[in-house]
Chain A
Amino acid sequence: MKTIDLSSTPVRELNQALHVQAGAVTEREWLVTHPDGKHNLAVGLNEAVSVDIQGHSGYYCAGMNQKATITIHGNAGVGVAENMMSGLVHVKGSASQSAGATAHGGLLIIDGDAGARCGISLKGADIVVGGSVGHMSCFMGQAGRLVVCGDAGDALGDSLYETRIYVKGSVKSLGSDCIEKAMRAEHLEELTELLNRAGFDEDPASFKRYGSARQLYSFKVDNAAAY
C-alpha cells in the first residue's frame, strides 16, 4: 500500500501520482492521511485503484471518478463524487450539499446524512444514503436511483425526469411534478439489490417510491403555476 501524507505533500502531488496509474498501475491500494478538509482530493481518477482517505475531505472529493474505489473515513464537503462516471465512492460520515451532482454512473454510499441537493441533476449513478437528505434532492434528476434510509427535506424530486427515488422515512414535501408511485415487485428487487450493495440492513418493504408524473416534460402554459 502506498501512503501519502497530506500534512507534508501537496494535493497536486497526490492527484498526479494517482493519475499516473492510468498509464500503468503500479499501486492498487493507496492510503491518504491528514486530509484535514482539503479540496479536490482524488479527482479525475480513471483506473481501478483503491484510495482510503483517513479523515474529512473538502469540496469535490472523488470528482469525476472512473473505475476507482474511494473511501472517505470521515465527512465529505460539497459535491463529493460530482459527475462520477463509474466506480465506488463511500463516505463513512456525512456529506455536505450537492453530493453526487450530475453523476453518470457508479455508486455513491453515504453512511450518514447528506445535505441539500443530494443527487441534483443525477444522470445515471446510484446514491444510497444511510441517513437523511436535505431540500431539493434530485432536483432535475434525469436517470439513476437515490435511496434514502432516513428522511427527505423539502421539494424532493422537483422537476424530475427519470431518476427513481426510494425513501424510508418522511418526506417534508414533494417538488413540482414529483409523485409517490406504486412499489411493484421489480422495484423491491431493485431496492434490495441497491441496499445490499451499499451494505445497509434495511427492509425494502418499508420504503416508498417517488418519481416523475411526467406532466412537465413538455412546456404547456396550463402548467405555468407549477414553475
Chain B
Amino acid sequence: MNDTHEPVLRESATFDRLTIQEIQRAAETGIYDIRGGGTKRKVPHFDDLLLLGASISRYPLEGYREKCGTDVVLGTRFAKKPIHLDIPVTIAGMSFGALSAQAKEALGRGASIAGTSTTTGDGGMTPEERGQSRHLVYQYLPSRYGMNPDDLRKADAIEIVLGQGAKPGGGGMLLGMKVTERVAGMRTLPVGVDQRSACRHPDWTGPDDLAIKIAELREITDWEKPIYVKIGASRPYYDVKLAVKAGADVIVLDGMQGGTAATQEVFIEHVGIPILCAIPQAVQALQEMGMHRQVQLIVSGGIRTGADVAKAMALGADAVAIGTAALIALGDNHPRLDSELRKLGSAAGYYDDWQNGRDPAGITTQDPELAKRLDPVEGGRRLANYLRVLVLEAQTMARACGKSHLHNLDPEDLVALSVEAAAMARVPLAGTSWIPGQGY
C-alpha cells in the first residue's frame, strides 16, 4: 500500500501568486507596473447595498404603466444655459489620445441617441466629437493640452478637472506609442515622446485662486456655460465645500474604482476612496451649505448597472457618469477578440494594457489600422443600447420603491449588507435600524 499523499500546496495570504509575480517583475525591470482600467481588488461598492421595494408601508408604481421620470438639469446655479439631459447617465471625460478618434466619435453618437452628454479629455476637442455630441462638456485640465477659447465657446459646459478617481493627486502618462502626429499636434508635443500630464493647474495654488479661475471662465464665456468641478474622491467633504464656495455649478465626484488610460497599478489600488463612502460625505457638505440639488452632484467610479445608478441617486447624486463601462459597451474586451488578446498576453475580460495602444478592439489605440476596426455608428448604437438598459433598470427599481422620478429615490430606500457598508453609506444595516456611528 502506498501511504504517500499528494502534497497540499498552501498559498500564502500575504505573498499570494500575484504578489510574488509582481515582486519578480519589479526585480527584473526596476519600474512599477503601469496599466489602464480601474481598481481590480474588491472594495465596498453598491453591491453592498440593497434597495427596499414596496409592500404595505410603501406603495409601488406599476412597472410597465406608470411614468418614472429620468431627466436632469445640470448647471442651474449660475449658468444662463443649463444643460437639460433626458437621462441622468453621462459619459465621463476620456481623451482623444487615450482613445481613438473613432471611439470618441462613437461615444458622442451613443450619448446623443440616448439624450445625454459626453465629455472631452486631456488633449482637447476633436471635430468628430463635437460634431456628433448633442451635449459636449469641455474639460479644462491641468495640462491644458489643446486648450483654446474657441473650443471653450463651442462647448455646452466646462469641467474643471482637479482630480480623477483612479489617481487623485496624480498626473498622467501617455506613452510615446500613442503620441502620434495628430495627438502630438493637438498637444504641442514632439511625436513619440512619453507625454506627462500635470497633476496640478499651472496658474493657481489654492481654493481662493480657483474661485477667480471659475470667474475667469465665466467671463470668457459670458456666463452661459455651466461650470463643473471634478474631484477625485479622497476628502470629498472638504473638497466639495471648497468647490461650492469657489462657485461651481456642478460637482463631479469620481471614486477610486474609476478607470484611467494609464497610471501606476499601486496608485489605482491604493489612493483614493470608494465612491460608496464618498457620496454621503459630498451630500453632507452640500446639505450643510444649503446647496444640495442647487449645485448638482454627478458621481462616477465603477458604475455598471441600473442598480448602481439607482443606488447612487438614492444616496443623493443627481446623475452618474460612466467611463470604463462605456468602453466595454463599445466593444472593448469582447469575447470575439480573445485569441488576439491572448497573443498580447491577456484575454477577453482581462485586457488592461490600454497604455500600449495595441487594443484589438480599436478603442484605446492610435494605430490607424486597429482604430479602423471600430465602426463609430455601430459603436454608438451599442452604447445607446447600454445607456437605455441602465436607465430602464434604474426606473424599474425606482418604481418598485414607489418613486415617479429617479430623483425621488433617497437614503430611506436603502439598507446595507455589511456593517462596513452601512457605516460608509450611512444607511441602516439590513434588518436593523442601526446606522453605525449614528446610534439608533
Query: Which A residues are within 8 Å of any B CB, using their own CB?
Result: 11-12, 15-16, 19, 39-40, 43-44, 46, 58-60, 63-64, 66, 78-79, 82-83, 85, 97-98, 101-102, 104, 117, 120-121, 123-124, 139-140, 142-143, 159, 161-162, 217-219, 221
Contacts and interface: CB of A to CB of B under 8 A. Distances in A.
B202 A143 contact: no
A38 B55 CA distance: 60
Nearest to A66: B149
A45 to B, nearest CB: 9
A104 B148 contact: yes
B369 interface: no
A166 B39 CA distance: 45
Given A66-B149, A117-B202, A120-B203, A40 B219 contact: yes
B198 A121 contact: yes
A46 B149 contact: yes
A97 B206 CA distance: 13
Contacts of A117: 202-203
B340 interface: no
A123 B196 contact: no
Interface residues on B, range: 20 to 34
B211 to A, nearest CB: 9
B193 interface: yes
Contacts of A97: 203
Chain B facing A: main interface SS: loop
Given A83-B147, A143-B188, A218-B176, A11 B202 contact: no
B50 interface: no
A12 B203 contact: no
Contacts of B198: 121, 140
Given A123-B144, A161-B189, A218 B194 contact: yes
B15 to A, nearest CB: 24
B349 interface: no
Given A11-B219, A60-B216, A121 B204 contact: no
Nearest to A16: B222
Given A19-B222, A104-B188, A98 B202 contact: yes
Interface string B91-111: 000000000000000000000
A142 B195 CA distance: 11
26 contacts: A11-B219, A39-B215, A40-B212, A43-B216, A44-B149, A44-B220, A46-B150, A59-B209, A60-B216, A64-B152, A64-B220, A78-B209, A79-B203, A82-B203, A83-B147, A85-B148, A98-B204, A121-B143, A121-B202, A123-B188, A140-B196, A143-B188, A217-B190, A217-B194, A218-B193, A221-B31
